[in-house]
C-alpha cells in the first residue's frame, strides 16, 4: 500500500520541491494549484518516479475545490499526509497595515487560514484511518511584527494557533499536526515581497528537505503540536 500525500500550492517553489521529494519516496500524490499549466509541468517532472499523480487545478479558498481534492485522495486509497502549503502574500509592494485594503486582508484570511482548516476538516476521516499528519506552512512573519508584513503575518499567526489547537484536539484520534516555518527561500512569492531586489542569496526550497526527511521519520506523538523551523540546526526544539 503506497502512502498518499495531498499538497496545496504544488506547482512551484516549496510545494513542487516537496512533491518531488515524496514522489521519490514512493508516495502517490494529489497536487493542486491555481495554475494548471505549471501544475502539469511539475507533475511531468516527477512522473518518472512511477507513482500516481492527480493534478486538480483550482483555488483552495473554494469549498467545492477542496472537496475535489479530498475525493482525489479517496480515489488514491487514503491519505497519510496533508501539506497546507498554498499561501497568498497580499499586495506587492507590501503596504503598512494602515493602508492594507480590507478586501485583500479578507482574501489572505480565506487562502491562508480558512482554506487549510477547511481542508483539514474535510480530510479528517481519511487522515484518521491512516493515523496521518497535517503540516501547515507558517512563516517568521507570524512572530516578527515586521513593517509591511502585518496582513500576511497575521494569517500565519492564526494558522499557528489553529495548528496547535488541532493537535490537542486530534490527539485522541491519532492525527498529528505540526506548524513549519520553512525560512527564507528563493521563490516567486519571496521575490514578490521584495520587488526589484536581488534575492539570489536566499537558499532554494531544497534546503528544507533534510528537515522534512527527519519529520516524516518521527513518531507522530513526539512531534504533534510543535512549531518547527525547517532551516534550523536543532529540529527537536520547537520554535
Q: What is the pLDDT of residue 186?
A: 53
Strand, helix or coil at 105? helix
Q: How confident is the model at residue 199 (pLDDT cuts 50, 70, 90)?
A: very low
Q: How far is CA 64 from the centre of its chain?
A: 19
Query: Which CATH number belongs to the domain containing residue 146 in this structure?
Result: 3.40.50.720
Beta bridge partners of 99: none
Name beta bridge partners: 53. Answer: 29
Distances (CA, A) of 180 to 15, 20, 198: 13, 18, 25
Q: Is 206 strand, coil or helix?
A: helix
Look at residue 235 and tell me if it is in a domain. Answer: no
Residue 234 lies in a domain: no
Residue 169 lies in a domain: yes
Domain annotation covers residue 13: yes
Hey, which residues are catalytic here?
152
Could you say which DSSP state residue 112 is in? Answer: I
DSSP state of 204: P
Report pLDDT for 233.
Answer: 73
Q: Tally Cβ neighbours within 10 Å of residue 14.
A: 27
Mean pLDDT of 5-23: 96
57 band by pLDDT with thresholds 50, 70 and 90: very high
How many domains in the chain? 1
Give me the pLDDT at residue 183, please.
82
The answer to whether position 165 is within a domain reads yes
Does 160 map to a domain?
yes
In this structure, is residue 237 part of a structural domain? no
Instruction: State the DSSP code for 189.
Output: H
Across 36-58, average pLDDT: 96
**Residue 236 pLDDT grade (very low, low, confident, very high; cuts 50, 70, 90):** low
Tens-place pLDDT, residues 134-160: 999 999 999 999 999 999 999 999 999
Beta bridge partners of 227: 179
72 or 239, greater pLDDT? 72
Q: Which domain holds residue 117?
A: 4-229
Residue 236 inside a domain? The answer is: no
Secondary structure (DSSP) of 12-56: SHHHHHHHHHHHHTT-EEEEE-S-HHHHHHHHHHHGGG---EEE-
Rounded Cα–Cα distance for residues 109 and 126 (Å): 25
Judged by DSSP in three states, 11 sits in coil
Q: Are 109 and 198 in contact (CB under 8 A)?
A: no
What's the Cα-to-Cα distance from 69 to each of 30, 33, 122, 177, rounded to whole Å? 7, 11, 9, 19
pLDDT-above-70 percentage for the chain? 90
Amino acid at each position: 500500500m503506497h502512502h498518499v500525500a495531498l499538497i496545496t500550492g504544488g506547482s512551484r517553489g516549496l510545494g513542487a520541491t516537496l512533491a518531488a521529494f515524496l514522489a521519490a519516496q514512493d508516495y502517490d500524490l494529489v497536487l493542486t494549484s491555481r495554475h494548471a499549466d505549471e501544475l502539469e509541468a511539475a507533475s511531468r517532472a516527477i512522473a518518472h518516479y512511477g507513482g500516481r499523480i492527480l493534478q486538480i487545478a483550482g483555488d483552495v479558498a473554494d469549498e467545492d475545490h477542496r472537496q475535489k481534492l479530498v475525493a482525489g485522495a479517496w480515489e488514491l486509497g487514503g491519505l497519510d499526509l496533508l501539506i497546507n502549503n498554498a499561501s497568498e502574500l497580499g499586495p506587492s509592494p507590501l503596504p503598512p497595515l494602515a493602508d492594507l485594503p480590507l478586501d485583500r486582508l479578507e482574501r489572505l484570511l480565506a487562502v491562508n487560514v480558512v482554506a487549510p482548516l477547511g481542508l483539514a476538516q474535510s480530510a479528517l476521516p481519511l487522515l484518521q484511518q491512516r493515523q496521518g499528519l497535517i503540516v501547515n506552512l507558517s512563516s517568521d512573519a507570524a512572530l516578527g511584527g515586521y513593517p509591511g508584513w502585518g496582513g500576511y503575518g497575521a494569517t500565519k499567526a492564526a494558522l499557528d494557533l489553529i495548528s496547535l489547537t488541532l493537535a490537542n484536539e486530534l490527539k485522541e484520534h491519532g492525527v498529528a499536526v505540526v506548524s513549519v516555518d520553512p525560512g527564507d527561500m528563493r521563490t516567486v512569492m519571496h521575490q514578490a515581497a521584495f520587488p526589484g531586489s536581488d534575492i539570489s542569496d536566499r537558499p532554494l526550497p531544497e534546503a528544507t528537505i533534510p528537515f522534512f526527511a527527519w519529520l516524516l521519520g518521527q513518531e507522530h506523538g513526539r512531534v504533534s503540536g510543535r512549531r518547527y523551523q525547517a532551516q534550523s540546526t536543532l529540529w527537536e526544539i520547537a520554535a
